[in-house]
Amino acid sequence: MLTDLIGTVAGAILVGVFGILVALFLMGVDRIVTARMQARIGPPLSQPLTDIRKLFMKENVVPANAIPWLFNLAPVVALASAITILLYIPVGGFAPVLSGGGDLVLVMYLLTLPALALVAGGFSSGSPYATVGAQREMVTMIAYEFPLAIVIITIAWKLAVSGIPLPFMLASVQANPVWGLVGPLGIIGVLILFFVLLIVIPAELSRIPFDTPEAETELAGGVLVEYSGKNLALFTLTQGVKTVVMASLVVALFIPYRLSALLPAPVILQPVLDLLFYLVLVVLVAFVAVSLIRVSMARFRINQVVSVYWIYLSLIGIAGLLLVMADHFLRVV
């Protein structure tokens, strides 16, 4: 019992550190890749680390008409909850640390926590920009929740009807790649869902074209406008960890393969191989969902964000769901 607990705690710390490191790495890669696409050189890979270090050295300003305890609590909660999600999803080719305790539904709930913390922080900073930003963040959150739910439920449903026990458990999702369970029609459906999940990521991470809550040119940073120093560093890290979370979620749901299972390698090297493969996948997902989308579009208006998610993406998602269902029932018949 005690060893279990110690193991979990150690695992949690390990995952936390690992998550932050991967987050910094992803942020660095994102900045270089974006710069290259825009014909710039871009900063060195270590730039995010430098930025965070610098932010920690800077003064932590709390505005006069903020609610100090909430204002200071929000970034901590945001980062803590983002790391907590990491404990529930498979990272780096390993099984989730808290594999026994939670499932996809829990992950979905947890995903809203950093965003809620951001909203709370925005409202408590007492600036009109932050207030508008926080309102927008809430609207965005509600907007992307539905397509995200469609994706997750479809996959769990498919696992369930395929007779796999505990379909909402990430461990079972990972053990049974959804591609293997569906027929040709279903593959199209799953591809569509894959696409939907990729488009949900920029909103989840408040990146262009869905960065309306932060919107540098109109809100000067929106929810984050009053944040500085340590608090801003924590929020920046949250953003990075969330990128890792979303990329890992995509990998777990749609590309749950291990290189070690495909390549014969000595047992010792297997985790290394898996880890590398995972990193490659995560970077690829982050490239498409974060960097590429971010550089090739203009920012949406908040009402456009809502219509994109509620109408277009939801419809596309439902189409994917129907295809998967049709595939199932046609094959059963």
Partner 1 sequence: MNGDTTKKSTPYTVPIGPVHPALKEPVMFTFQMEGEVVRSVDFAPGNTHRGIEWMGMRRNPVQIVHLTDRICGICGIVHSLSFARAVEQIAEIEVPPRADYIRTILHELERMQSHILWAGVAAHELGFDSLLFLAWRVREQSMDLIENLTGNRVNYGIVQIGGVRRDISDDQRPVIEQGLAYYRGLLDQMKTVFLDDSTIRMRCRGHGLLSYRDAQLLCAVGPTARASGVAMDIRHDYPYCAYGDFDVHPVLPPQEFGGPMGDVYDRIIVRLLEIAQSIDIIQQCLDNLPAGEILWEKKLPKLLSILKKAQGEAIGRVEAPRGECMHYVRMDGNEAPATWKVKASSYSNLMSWIPMLKGEQLADVPIIVASIDPCMSCTDRVTIIRNGSAADLTKEELTRLSREKTRRLSRC
Partner 2 sequence: MVRLPMMPELLRQLFKKPATNAFPARYLPPSVTKFLQKVAQGEAVINPPVPVPPGFRGKITYDRESCIGCQLCLKVCPAHAIEFLPTTKRVRIYVAQCVFCSQCNDICPKDCLHMTPEFLLACEDRFAESQIVE
What is the token pair recorded at 223? 């929810």
Kindly indicate which of the ranges 42-50, 135-143, 192-200, 255-263 contains the residues binding partner 2, using the contact rule CB under 8 A: 42-50
Q: Which of residues 267-306 bind partner 1 (CB under 8 A)?
A: 295-304
How far apart are the C-alpha atoms of 258 and 198, rounded to whole Å?
21
User: Taking CB under 8 A as the rule, does residue 292 contact partner 2?
Assistant: yes
Nearer residue to partner 1 within complex by CB, 17 or 218: 218
CB of 38 to partner 1, least distance (A): 4
Interaction partner, residue 333 (partner 2, partner 1, none; CB < 5-8 Å by kind): none
User: Taking CB under 8 A as the rule, does residue 36 contact partner 2?
Assistant: yes
According to DSSP, residue 131 is labeled H
CB of 35 to partner 2, least distance (A): 7
Nearer residue to partner 2 within complex by CB, 161 or 306: 306
User: Taking CB under 8 A as the rule, does residue 296 contact partner 2?
Assistant: yes
How far is CA 103 from each of CA 29, 87, 239, rounded to the nearest angstrom?
30, 11, 22
How far is CA 318 from each of CA 34, 41, 79, 130, rounded to the nearest angstrom?
32, 41, 32, 34
Nearest Cα to 227, choosing from 118, 104, 90, 103?
Answer: 118
Nearer residue to partner 1 within complex by CB, 3 or 38: 38
What is the three-class DSSP state of 220? coil
Residue span 137-166 as binding mask against partner 2, x where in contact by CB under 8 A, dash where not: ------------------------------
Largest CA distance in the chain: 67
- What number of other Cβ atoms are within 10 A of residue 40's Cβ? 11
Kindly indicate which of the ranges 33-41, 51-59, 137-145, 262-270 contains the residues binding partner 2, using the contact rule CB under 8 A: 33-41
CB of 46 to partner 2, least distance (A): 10
Q: Which of residues 20-49 bind partner 1 (CB under 8 A)?
A: 37-40
CB of 230 to partner 1, least distance (A): 23
Q: Measured between alpha carbons, how far apart are the two ends of the chain, in Å? A: 48
For 172-185, what is the HEC assignment? HHHHCCHHHHCCHH
How far apart are the C-alpha atoms of 83 and 14, rounded to whole Å?
11
Kindly provide the b/e burial profile for residues 55-69, where b requires at least 16 CB atoms within 10 angstroms of the residue's own CB: beeeebebbeebbee
Count of residues interacting with partner 2 (CB under 8 A):
15
Nearer residue to partner 2 within complex by CB, 45 or 220: 45
Contact 75, 234 (CB under 8 A): yes
Interaction partner, residue 43 (partner 2, partner 1, none; CB < 5-8 Å by kind): partner 2
CB of 241 to partner 1, least distance (A): 24
CB of 315 to partner 2, least distance (A): 14
Residues 84, 124, 154, 212: which binds partner 1 (CB under 8 A)?
A: 212
Contact 109, 148 (CB under 8 A): no
Nearest Cα to 102, choosing from 163, 173, 207?
Answer: 173
Contact 23, 241 (CB under 8 A): yes
Contacts to partner 1 by CB under 8 A: 37-40, 128-129, 132, 208-209, 211-212, 215-220, 295-304
